[in-house]
Amino acid sequence: MKTPYQTVLTIAGSDSGGCAGIQADIKSISACGAYAASVITATTAQNTQGVTDIHAIPVDHLEKQLEAVFSDIEFDAIKIGMLHSCEVINAIASKLSTYKAKNIVLDPVMVATSGDKLITDEAIDCLKQFLPKATVITPNRKEAEILVGHAIDKDNCEVTAREIGTQFKTSVVLKGGHLDPTTNDMLDILYEYKTDQLFVIKNPLIDTNNTHGTGCSLSSSIATFLGKGDQLEEAVRKACQYVNQSIAKGKDKALGRGNGPINHFGLK
């Protein structure tokens, strides 16, 4: 008697340095106990110090990747990373609808750590139209500020998470980060759209530069726990704890000359 894998599909870009993107997603999904499949939207020339080139996968090949996996494998959850054009967004939205995809976790990657926009204003407008199709979205503070059009701080982060969820009709994990300098907490805010509930998730702040790929790892681990049957609040809490522990396990590791990755598997 054969038993099926619990499966998660990641649709995202490739990071040649292995810290973020598809590579971080596959590591996170595997570490959290599911089988990872992937559809690549773009390849990057990237290392711990930054991105030097991006090559977008042609949309017709992207569609063929999606058709190949969806026609053969039933997925328990979907993680989606950076969507760099309206054509890509529309192609993915169409396949998700055709195959009735469930447990969709969207990381709306729009802004680099430097604060620079990574996608065009046109793509941002298309992305906003796509957000209601997601089960939950996971913007960081800068991305959330683009979505709502105002600054976010420790005093309004909870209200803003609800504002985003209400506006785009989806649940939200607002990755607040270290918003309050008077505490040693990392703060994430979950707004659950269906129940109109807010949850504040705190984990200890870890002093390290090895945080490259944390956003990818969080969204893909949320997708994994949802796919394994957890309710949204439980899935988000488990994912935040997993990422925090992976940061702790990697804080003293060395890789490259820039910002290193988290330690997904607790490697020695």
SS3 42: strand
- Verify whether residue 213 is a known catalytic residue: yes
- Verify whether residue 229 is a known catalytic residue: no
- Verify whether residue 175 is a known catalytic residue: yes
One-letter amino acid of 174? L
**CA-based nearest residue to 34, from 252, 220, 242, 244:** 220
Instruction: Give me the catalytic one of 133, 216, 238, 249.
Output: 216
What is the Cα–Cα distance from 242 to 75, expressed in whole angstroms? 22
- Verify whether residue 138 is a known catalytic residue: no
Instruction: Give me the catalytic one of 214, 224, 240, 260.
Output: 214
Residue 92 phi/psi, 5-degree rounding, is: -70, -45
Q: Cα(first)–Cα(last) distance of the chain, in Å? A: 37
- Verify whether residue 214 is a known catalytic residue: yes
The two beta strands, 77-80 and 104-106, are parallel
**CA-based nearest residue to 87, from 130, 117, 44, 46:** 130
Instruction: Give me the catalytic one of 17, 215, 227, 260.
Output: 215
Where do we find the tokens 């726990």?
A: 225
Instruction: Give me the catalytic one of 213, 227, 250, 260.
Output: 213
Instruction: Give me the catalytic one of 79, 142, 175, 249.
Output: 175
Instruction: Give me the catalytic one of 211, 224, 238, 249.
Output: 211
- Which residues does the annotation mark as catalytic? 175, 211, 213-216
